[in-house]
Every structure is written in structure tokens, then in C-alpha cells.
Structure 1
Amino acid sequence: MAKTLHRLILSVVVTALASIFMTAPAANADDVSPMIVGGTRASTATYPWVVMLTTTANFQFCGGTLVKANKVVTAAHCVKGRTPASTRVVHGRDDKQTTVGTTANVTKIWVHPSYTTATAGYDVAVLTLDRNISSATLPLATPADTALYAAGNSALILGWGTTSSGGSASRYLLKANVPLTSDATCKTAYSQYSNTSMVCAGFPQGGVDTCQGDSGGPLVFGGKLIGDTSWGQGCAAPKYPGVYGRIAPYYSVINAQL
């Protein structure tokens, strides 16, 4: 199936290419498109709970959300098959070409035991850090938070991923707002969609979306983490919203890891 499904740079590719990207010349600010896809620059000072996942070579490949001082929620497909020793979490860094912020080692990776592929659901994981990070954290959506998932709610997305499908990654943290779609709309776009494990967000005409490298990053509404960036066809394509792991159904199993 010729679709861009997983919104990440695969770990094997990341590992192989990390040294190439890390030695590339620094980009000028003028060279960076100001969008996640269709978004604007953001700051970790405003959103202190958004974090980046990197390799040991400091190459960013996914995002995550700080939900406790030493716990990060991300997508299972970001870390399935990775070892804690090969994974880092960076907090408080807007610009990937700096060393600002705190870099934490990962001591444990928990992947939902039912996870197989992102398109089958259960695309959620929890990372345990080797230290407590002094920062605001983001609460998890609970099973009682059904109103947060209403179609039309304008949810926040954040990430350092590519600014077009298959394009170049952003140097800076970017943000955008996208409306949650109805279950029927998402099911029309994706036969694999299940509202027990997923939620979709995006404009019918496309143009604003998460993309490769944004995987695992937050989908936020009502001051809570309601989703993690999971998969979709391309990025920002008309009639193909982004698909996010639905956090509320996983509240109990995630909370057990906290």
C-alpha cells in the first residue's frame, strides 16, 4: 500500500543517518519554513511539557509529553525495538542546533503490550527518565473526559518534524491548531480507524497537520493530553486528517506506569 503511514523517521534510518545530519552545515533562520505543516514558531517556555526524543548522537526523531517529573508519554512506534541506552529525552530546547535545556537518559521503555503497528492502535509508550525534570507537566485525559474529544474542538499540535510530507525537518519547535474530526469522517478516510484507540484531527481541505518526526508529540485540548501523534496518509492532504493515539482509553495502563 503506497501510503505514508507512520509519522516518524524509522529508528534504523535515524541511526544510519544521524552522523550525516549532525555534521551538516547549520541552517540560517531564513532557510527554515515557519510551519509544522501550516503552523508557526513555538516556545518550550510556553509549552514546557513538550519534549524531543533523540539518539545518543543528538538527532531528533520523535516528540513526547512530560506527564510526570520523570515520565514521558510518546508513541509506541517511536520506541518499539529501541533500547533505553540508545534513547535520550531533551527538555526545554526550541532550536535543535543548540545545547539549551536538559538532556535526560532513559532508564526504562514501556510499550503498550497490545501494540503491533500504529494502524492497529495501542500506539502509546511511556519512558522513564534517569532524573526528575523541574517543569510543569501535562495531565492525561481520563475516560470521563469524553467532551474533550468532540468534533470541532480546536486542538494544539507541536513538534520538530518535517514541514511537508517527505520534506526537511524543522530546526525549531512549531505549533498549530487543528479541529478534531468526527468518527464518521475519519472512518471514511481510513478503514483502519477505531474510536476506541484513535482520534483524528485536521481540516477537510488539508494544509495543517503533523508530519514525519512529529510522532509521539502531543495533541492537546482543554489543558490535557488527549492524543499522541501516530499516523496518516501523507501530511496535510485534503480529506486525510492526522490520526492520533486516543489517550483517555489508555489512562489506567499509562497511569500504572507513572
Structure 2
Amino acid sequence: MAKHARRDRRFRLTLAAAAAVAASLPIAAVAATSGSSDSATQARPYIVGGQEASIQDYPYAVYLTDSKGNQFCGGTLVSSSAVVTAAHCATAMSESNLRVVAGRQDENGSGGVVTKVTDVWTEPGYSDPGKGDDVAVLSLDRQVSYRPVSLPDSSDQSLYREGTNATVVGWGRTADGGARSEVLRKATVPVVSDASCSQSYSNYDAKSMVCAGYPQGGTDACQGDSGGPLLVGDTLIGIVSWGDGCAQAGKPGVYARVSTYANDIKAQSQKRSLLW
């Protein structure tokens, strides 16, 4: 029982938002918000220990909502008409109910654009964030004018060296179990070695995941940041996926390792761009 309760804290989907949109979620996702589904037990909250960020500095950062405007995850533009996010975010509700908000720093503002989603692709091996492959590409119903992020070369692991400073951005919670931020925030977290992350999480998979955070905790992604970017400069190296709580000592955030999926992400985004 205690082990299951611990797993329930890992997802970085905004649980409060998920509860608010529960009526529109598919059965599996509704079960996930109550902790009864393994496939949703690893999503997590907002940026902890960070500061407000400008959307002009991160024009590729977007957030996901349901059709009523309830934010629950983040994402990153990889082309003018495609967004990469976590698979557990993309499958949280029906495609017809998904919306992507681009170019808006403050959720209470009216800037930017709101697009519908016309297609959802998830990495074929995905079943649960804790098992890896937590990657999805969303096709937008229109082109947007914001600059997309850069993707790493699939063979280049230099961005994943231990101690490399990376930036995580999102609209998630600012404390574990706390209130959700309504403005874009950012935080700097160092990349953690695979050996160290394996000591923190027995199910860590170095091929599909990467960890980032401080040994003492204090700075991390959190609920509502799921699907958002982990960046080195303007290069996307990770997608917020899961972890044990938020900003806890010895429990770094776990991200999907983008270099492993770069070719798939490029192929899917190019397919969508060719439709225009």
C-alpha cells in the first residue's frame, strides 16, 4: 500500500486540473486522477524554486488545455504545426477535446493563439511513464508563427553530460501539492548521471530517460509541467515525465530523453508540415 501511494505522486499532470476536467476525460484518465490506474501514477506538478519567464525568450513553449480552457500539461513547438509533449498528456483526454495554447505567457491573458488538435501520435512502445517512451506529437489545425525549438542529433550525447545546466519551463505548480502558476516560469537544474539516477529510481532506463535536479532538491518541475521542455540553450533535451514528488532531496525529475526519439519526432512533425 505504501509503495503504491508513493508511485501515485510521480505523474506531473496537474491533478487539480485533471479533476476539473474529469467529466470530459476518457475512463482510463479519470481512473488515473483517483490513483486507481497504473498508467497515470507518474505525472507531476509545476516549476518549484524557479522564477517568472518571458514567452519571448521561449517562443516554442506551449501549454495544453481541454476545450473549456483548463490547463493540465505543457508542450514544445517542433514545427509551425506540430507540438511534442508527454504521451501521458496526449492520452489524458480525447483528441477532439485537446487544445494547444501558443504565444501566451499569462493564462489569464488573451495573447497568442489557441489551436485544436487534428492528430495524436504516441511513441509505439509507450504504456506508462515509468516504463519509458513517454513521447507524443500533436498535429495542430493551423500553422502558428512562433519559432520552433531545436532538436538534438540522435547520436550526440554531449548535452547529457553530468552537471550540464539545463532549463525547465512551464505553467505547473510552484510547490508539491501547492497552487498552480498562471504565468510561465523557469528554473535551472543540472543533468544527473545515469548511475546516480539509477540509485534514485530502480526503474530508471538510461535509453529512454534522463534525470535533472540538485542532490539537495529544492528546484524541480512539478504537477502541470508534464510534457514541457527541458532545454540546453534552445535545444530540447528532455520532456517532463515523472518523478517522486517535487523537488525532494535525492529524487531528481525524470524526463524523456529526446535524443533517443529525435528522428521519430522530426519525421512526425515533417509529415504534419507537408499537409500545409
Superposed pair shares fold, TM > 0.5: yes
How far apart are the structure 1 equivalents of 2:59 and 2:234? 13
How far apart are the structure 1 equivalents of 2:193 and 2:18? 35
Match 1:15 to one of 18, 21, 31? 21
Residues 215-224 or 62-71, more deviating: 215-224
Which residue is 2:198 aligned to? 187
How far apart are the structure 2 equivalents of 1:17 and 1:81? 12
What SS does the corresponding residue of 1:237 show, helix, strand or coil?
coil
Q: Structure 2 vs 1, CA of residues 221 and 37 (structure 1 numbering), >3 Å: closer, same or farther?
A: same
How far apart are the structure 2 equivalents of 1:91 and 1:191? 36
Q: Is the 8 A contact 1:14 1:61 kept in 2?
A: no
How far apart are the structure 1 equivalents of 2:76 and 2:51? 19
What SS does the corresponding residue of 1:196 show, helix, strand or coil?
coil
1:5 aligns with 2:10: yes
Q: Is the 8 A contact 1:160 1:169 kept in 2?
A: yes
How far apart are the structure 2 equivalents of 1:38 and 1:222? 19
Deviation of the 1:149 alpha carbon: 0.5
Deviation of the 1:226 alpha carbon: 0.6
How far apart are the structure 2 equivalents of 1:81 and 1:239? 29
Instruction: Kindly report which structure 2 residues correspond to 1:20-59, keeping only aligned pairs within 5 A, or say none.
Output: 36-59=47-70
Deviation of the 1:99 alpha carbon: 1.9
Deviation of the 1:184 alpha carbon: 0.9
Q: Is the 8 A contact 1:142 1:247 kept in 2?
A: no
Deviations along 1:36-57, one digit per CA (max 9) or x if unpaired, are 2000000111110000101111
Amino acid at match of 1:40: Q
How far apart are the structure 2 equivalents of 1:68 and 1:238? 36
Residues 217-226 or 203-212, more deviating: 217-226
Which residue is 1:131 aligned to? 142
Deviation of the 1:12 alpha carbon: 5.2
What SS does the corresponding residue of 2:5 show, helix, strand or coil?
coil
How far apart are the structure 2 equivalents of 1:14 and 1:221? 34
Residues 216-225 or 47-56, more deviating: 216-225
Deviations along 1:199-223, one digit per CA (max 9) or x if unpaired, are 0000000000000000000000143
Deviation of the 1:13 alpha carbon: 2.2
Q: Is the 8 A contact 2:14 2:225 kept in 1?
A: no
Q: Is the 8 A contact 1:160 1:172 kept in 2?
A: yes
How far apart are the structure 1 equivalents of 2:124 and 2:162? 29
How far apart are the structure 2 equivalents of 1:197 and 1:149? 12
Instruction: Kindly report which structure 2 residues correspond to 1:105-144, keeping only aligned pairs within 5 A, or say none.
Output: 105-144=116-155
Residues 248-257 or 190-199, more deviating: 248-257
Deviations along 1:15-74, one digit per CA (max 9) or x if unpaired, are 1389xxxxxxxxxxxxxxxx8200000011111000010111111100000010000000
Deviations along 1:166-193, one digit per CA (max 9) or x if unpaired, are 1110011100110000011100000010
How far apart are the structure 1 equivalents of 2:92 and 2:66? 13
Structure 2 unaligned spans of 5+: 25-45, 270-276
Which residue is 2:108 aligned to? 97
Q: TM-score, normalised to structure 2's length?
A: 0.84
How far apart are the structure 2 equivalents of 1:71 and 1:7? 22
Match 1:223 to one of 228, 234, 238? 234
Name whichever structure is richer in helix by fraction. 2
Which residue is 2:222 aligned to? 211
Amino acid at match of 2:11: H
How far apart are the structure 1 equivalents of 2:20 and 2:211? 27
Q: TM-score, normalised to structure 1's length?
A: 0.90
What SS does the corresponding residue of 1:142 show, helix, strand or coil?
coil
Which residue is 1:73 aligned to? 84
